[in-house]
């Protein structure tokens, strides 16, 4: 199943490096009190590469109008 829409390792590394610093500053989830499942949330129109990265579960896209600190994968809610 070949696909042209695949995130390159180079780009993923770039995103990893960038969002690593973002993740470090994220607060713990107010509901489950854990940071373990909190990923960065990204506001605005994402690039196709960022969409692929989000599809892999590294970040959560929040759309154009809402701004959040992050997304808790455990509670499935923005925080």
Which positions lie near Zn ion, rule CB under 5 A?
29, 31-32, 72, 74-75
Residue nearest to Zn ion (CB): 29
Least distance (Å) between residue 40 CB and Zn ion: 14
User: Closer CB to Zn ion, residue 53 or residue 71?
Assistant: 71
User: Closer CB to Zn ion, residue 29 or residue 50?
Assistant: 29
Least distance (Å) between residue 66 CB and Zn ion: 18
With b for 16 or more beta-carbon neighbours within 10 A and e for fewer, the 8-46 pattern comes to eeeebeebeeebeeebeebeebeeeeeeeebbbbbeeeb
User: Closer CB to Zn ion, residue 59 or residue 72?
Assistant: 72
């Amino acid at each position: 199943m070949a696909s042209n829409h695949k995130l390159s390792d180079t780009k993923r590394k770039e995103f990893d490096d960038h969002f690593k610093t973002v993740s470090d500053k994220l607060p713990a989830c107010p509901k489950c009190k854990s940071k373990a499942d909190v990923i960065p949330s990204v506001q605005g129109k994402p690039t196709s590469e960022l969409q692929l990265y989000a599809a892999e579960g590294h970040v959560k896209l929040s759309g154009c109008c809402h701004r959040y600190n992050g997304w808790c994968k455990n509670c499935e809610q923005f925080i």
